[in-house]
Structure 1
Amino acid sequence: MSDLPDIRDDSPLPEALRFRAPAPLVDIGANLTHDSFSRDGEAVIERARAAGVETLIVTGTDQRHARQAIELAEHHTGLYATAGIHPHEASQWNAELAAAFAELHRHPAVVAVGECGLDFNRNFSTPAEQERAFEAQLTLAAENGLPLFLHERDAGRRMLEMLTAWRDDIRDAVVHCFTGEREVLHGYLDLDLHVGLTGWLCDERRGHHLRELLADIPLNRLMVETDCPYLLPRNLPAKPRARRHEPALLPWIVAEIAHWRGDTALTVARETTATARRFFQLEENVR
C-alpha cells in the first residue's frame, strides 16, 4: 500500500490513510446514498479511484435509495447498483413494492437483488415480516436471473433453511458483511454461495473470530467491501477527520485479510476482484 495517490489537501483522509491498492479493487457494498456523503460524494468517488478502488456497487436498501443508487451509477463509470428491501424495512413490503422492484431490476445498472435477508438481532420488522419480504425477493431473483446481495445477522440457521429450499432456482448469492460463526459459514459455502468481508475483522471487540475463519473461505468465493459509511476499521493508523468510512480505505481491509490468510495483498486484491467481476457479470455490463 505504497505509492500514495495525489489527494487534494482538503481531503478528510490524513496522509497515513492515503492507501493505494496493489491491484484494482471492487467494493461490493458502498452505501453512497447515505446522507453523510451528500456534500462530498464526487470527492469520495475520486478518492476511491485514486486508491485503486475502481468499481463500486452502491447498495439500494429500499425503493428510494435504490433509485438514488441507480442515478449515481448512471452518472459515473464503474458504479453499479443493487435494489431491494433491507430486513429492517421488511414490514413495508406489498404488491406495489414488488412491482416497483421488478421494474428496477430491469435497469442495466442494477447487478443484484438486495440488500435483502434476515436480521433477528434488532427485529425492526418482525421475523414473520422479514421472511415474507425475503421470500418475495427470492422469487424476483429466480425470475430475473440476478444474484442476491444478502444481509444476515443472528439468523444464520433460518437463512440457510430458506436458501437451501431456493438454491436450485437462484443464480447466486453473496452474504455481505459476514459476521457469523464457522458452522454458518460452512453452510453458506456448502451451498456454493459467496461471502463478503468488511472491516468487522479489524474490531478487537467482536471481529477477531473472523480471522480464524479466513482460511476456510476459498478466494473464488470471497469478496471485499467497506459497507461505508459504517464499520470504519478500528485499527487504522489514523482516523479520518469525519470519522466516516469510505471506499478509499478498502485497501486496508484487503491488507488485513491478506495478513490473516497468509497471502499477499496483491493476491487477495486480484482474486477478490476477479470473483466480484464474475459474480456481478461486470464484463457484460461495462458502462
Structure 2
Amino acid sequence: MQLIDIGANLTHDSFDHDRDAVLQRAREAGVARMVITGASREHSPQALELARRHPGELFATAGVHPHHASEYTAECDAEMRALLAHDEVVAVGECGLDYFRDFSPRPAQRRAYEMQLQTAVDIGKPLFLHQRDAHADFMAMMRNFDGKLGPAVVHCFTGTREELFDYLDQDWYVGITGWLCDERRGLHLRELVKHIPAARLMIETDAPYLLPRTVKPAPSHRRNEPMYLAHIVEELARDRGEDVATTAANSTAAATAFFRLPAA
C-alpha cells in the first residue's frame, strides 16, 4: 500500500524528540506521503519548513484553526497568503468553526473563517476544513461563497448522517480518522462510511491526536502517529465491505487529485 495521510500535526512539540524516527516508521507502514496541518500563526510556517526539508514526501497547509481565531488579524491574513504562494503549501486551512470548545469567541471564529474562505477564492487552492457543533453556521457561510470556491475537504469527520449528506451534496471530500475505531463515540461512523463515494473519501491520522483505540498493543505514551494510518485503512475497508488494497488505492487517488500532488 502507498498511503497518503492528509492530516498530521507533525509540528506538534510531542514530535520534537523523534520526528525523523516517526517519519521512518510511517514509511515502513506504507505511508508514502503526508500533508502536514498548519493550524495557527505559529505552526503554519513550521509546516512549510518541514515540507521543504522532505520534498515530494511532505506537503503543508496554511491556516488558522477556529481555536486560534482571535489571532487572525490583517497581518496574520497577509502571512497566510504569503505561505500559500509556495508550491509545497497545497491547501487553505485548517479553518472553520468549532462551537464545542469555543476557545475563541464565535464572532471571531466567523470572521477568521470568512477571511480564509476569501483567501481560498483569491489563491485558488483547496480548503482543509474543520467543523464541530457548528453545522448550520458552517453551511451558511459556505453558501455565501457558492460558485467561487474550489474543492473542499471536511477533515476528521465525526458528525451525523445529515451532516455527511450535506457535505456530499456539495461534492466535498470527507476525511476519516481513527475516531472510527472509538467504540464510545465512533460507532455511528461504521455505518456512515459506506455511503461516502470512493472518489470523495480520504484518510488521516490527525496525529498526535486520536490514537485508534483498536490498536493493540496500545503504546504507553498514547501518542498517535502516521504509522497507524495503515490500521485505520484496514478498519475502514472492513466497514465498507472492500478489500484493503481497494480502499487504500482509492483514498490515495482521491488525495492525489484533491491536493494536486505530483506523481509519487
TM-score interval, smaller chain: over 0.9
CA distance in 2, matches of 1:81, 1:63: 14
Aligned-pair distance for 1:62? 1.0
Q: Deviations over 1:78-126 (max 9, x none)?
A: 1000000000010111111111111110011100000000001011111
Q: Deviations over 1:21-54 (max 9, x none)?
A: xx20000000000010000000100111111101
**Alignment match of 1:264 (pick from 237, 243, 255):** 243
CA distance in 2, matches of 1:184, 1:72: 33
Counterpart for residue 171 of structure 1? 150
Aligned-pair distance for 1:165? 2.2
**Alignment match of 2:205 (pick from 212, 219, 226):** 226
Matched, 1:115 2:94: yes
CA distance in 1, matches of 2:255, 2:229: 14
Residue 79 of structure 2 aligns to which amino acid in structure 1?
A: A
CA distance in 2, matches of 1:277, 1:47: 22
CA distance in 1, matches of 2:186, 2:25: 27
Counterpart for residue 74 of structure 1? 52
Counterpart for residue 184 of structure 1? 163
Residue 139 of structure 1 aligns to which amino acid in structure 2?
A: Q
Matched, 1:145 2:117: no
TM-score, normalising length: structure 1: 0.90
Matched, 1:59 2:37: yes
Could you tell me whether the CA contact under 8 Å between 1:84 and 1:101 is conserved in 2?
Answer: yes
Could you tell me whether the CA contact under 8 Å between 1:157 and 1:184 is conserved in 2?
Answer: no
CA distance in 1, matches of 2:251, 2:98: 26
Matched, 1:253 2:247: no
Counterpart for residue 15 of structure 2? 37
Residue 70 of structure 1 aligns to which amino acid in structure 2?
A: L
CA distance in 2, matches of 1:58, 1:184: 25
Could you tell me whether the CA contact under 8 Å between 2:41 and 2:71 is conserved in 1?
Answer: no
Aligned-pair distance for 1:160? 1.3
CA distance in 2, matches of 1:165, 1:235: 40
CA distance in 2, matches of 1:273, 1:144: 24
CA distance in 2, matches of 1:92, 1:237: 40
Residue 68 of structure 1 aligns to which amino acid in structure 2?
A: Q
Could you tell me whether the CA contact under 8 Å between 1:164 and 1:191 is conserved in 2?
Answer: no
Counterpart for residue 8 of structure 1? none
- State the SS of the aligned residue for 1:100: helix
Q: Deviations over 1:218-257 (max 9, x none)?
A: 0100000000000001111211232210000101000001
Matched, 1:210 2:189: yes
CA distance in 2, matches of 1:99, 1:248: 35
- State the SS of the aligned residue for 1:283: coil
CA distance in 2, matches of 1:247, 1:235: 15
Could you tell me whether the CA contact under 8 Å between 2:120 and 2:127 is conserved in 1?
Answer: yes
Identical pairs, percent: 54
CA distance in 1, matches of 2:33, 2:257: 13
- State the SS of the aligned residue for 1:63: coil
CA distance in 1, matches of 2:215, 2:137: 35
| Bigger radius of gyration among the two | 1
Matched, 1:241 2:220: yes
CA distance in 1, matches of 2:158, 2:141: 19
Aligned-pair distance for 1:156? 1.4
**Alignment match of 1:92 (pick from 59, 67, 71):** 71
Matched, 1:278 2:257: yes
Which runs of 5 or more residues in structure 1 are unaligned? Answer: 1-22
Which runs of 5 or more residues in structure 2 are unaligned? Answer: none
- State the SS of the aligned residue for 1:125: coil
